Amino acid sequence: MIELFHVYKSYIKGRPALADVTLSVEKGEFIFVVGPSGAGKTTLLKLLFCMEQPDDGQILIQGRNIAKLKSTSIPYLRRNIGFIFQDFKLLAHKTVFDNVALPLLVKGTNTSEIQKKVSEVLRMVRLDYKKEVFPPFLSGGEQQRVAIARAIINDPMVLLADEPTGNLDSASARDIFELLEMIHMRGTAMIIATHNTIIVNQMRKRVVGLVDGRIVNSERASTGSV
C-alpha cells in the first residue's frame, strides 16, 4: 500500500534527515517508528503526508508517486490519510463537534451525513457527551481523542501519528493507544512515531528503527521490540 524507495531528505547540507530509506507498509499494518530525537521520525511522516517533498527517491501510496504530486492534488491525498499531532492542533474557538466535522465540511458533505458520522465517531472515542464543549475545557487525553476522531472521520486508509502521547501522562497514553488499536482492528493501517518504548514493547507490533535518518531495523509483528 505504501512504499518508499531510496528516499533522501535533508534540511542542512551534509546532515540528512533521511538517507536511503526504503520501506513498505502493507494494507492494515501497524508500525511503530522509533529512534532518538533527530532520527528522522517526524520527517518520514511529513513526507508521507506531503508536508515536505523528498530530495530524492520515490514514495508510492496505492501505486501513485506522491514525491512528484502537484500542489493542487495534495488536499485530495490528505482526505485519505489521517494525521495526529503531538500538540493536537484543535481549533480552540470551535466545539468538539465542529472540530471533528471539519474534514467533512471541506469535502462538501451534507449536514445530515455530517451529523450522523460525527456522532458515530464521537461515540467511538467516548466523547459524544462533550460534543458542545470547547477544546480548552478538555483534558489532554480528551483533546487527543478529539484529534483522533477528526483524523478518522473520513475512514482513511492509513493513520499517521507523530508522538500522539508526548504531552500526556501514562494513563492517558495507555487510553490513546488502546483507542488506536481499536481503530486498527477496523482495518486502518497505522504508522506511529513514538518515544514510548513501554507501549511499543507491550503492543508487540512491527517496529522500524531510525538512527541518523537511516533504517537500522524493521522487524515485523510478534518479534518487534525496542
Pick from 6, 89, 123, 220: which binds another protein (CB under 8 A)? 89
Span from 30-38, 108-116, 171-179, 212-220 in contact with another protein (CB under 8 A): 108-116
**Cβ–Cβ < 8 Å for 109, 51:** no
Q: Which is nearer to another protein, 105 or 221 (CB)?
A: 105
Give the start-end residues of each E strand in 13-55: 15-25, 30-34
Between helix 140-152 and helix 96-107 the angle, nearest 10°, is 20
**What are the backbone dihedrals phi and psi of residue 12, each rounded to the nearest 5 degrees, phi first?**
-120, 135
CB of 105 to another protein, least distance (A): 6
Which residues make Cβ contacts (< 8 Å) with residue 44, sequence separation at least 6?
Answer: 18, 21, 33, 193, 210
Helix H segments across the chain?
A: 41-48, 74-78, 96-107, 111-124, 140-152, 170-185, 197-203
Write down the least CB distance from residue 187 to another protein, Å.
Answer: 20
Angle at 184 between CA 59 and CA 28, to 5 degrees: 40
The stretch near another protein (CB under 8 A) out of 24-32, 38-46, 97-105, 185-193 is 97-105
Instruction: Supply the DSSP symbol for 226.
Output: -
Which of the residues 119 through 178 are near another protein (CB under 8 A)? 150, 154
- Asked whether position 112 contacts another protein by CB under 8 A, the answer is no
71 belongs to the binding site for another protein (CB under 8 A): yes
Report if residue 105 touches another protein, rule: CB under 8 A. yes
Of residues 172 through 191, those in contact with another protein by CB under 8 A are none
Which strand (E) or helix (H) includes residue 56?
A: strand 56-61
Contact segment (CB under 8 A) with another protein among 24-32, 37-45, 87-95, 205-213 equals 87-95
88: number of Cβ within 10 Å: 20
Query: Is position 106 an interface residue for another protein (rule: CB under 8 A)?
Result: yes
Contact call for residue 107 and another protein (CB under 8 A): yes
Which DSSP letter does residue 138 get? S
Examine residue 64 and tell whether it contacts another protein (CB under 8 A).
Answer: no
CB of 50 to another protein, least distance (A): 10
C-alpha cell at 77: 491525498
**Total residues interacting with another protein, rule: CB under 8 A:** 23
Closest to another protein by CB, 77 or 124: 77
Task: Give me the residues that bind another protein (CB under 8 A), please.
Answer: 49, 71-72, 74-79, 83, 89-91, 102-103, 105-108, 110-111, 150, 154
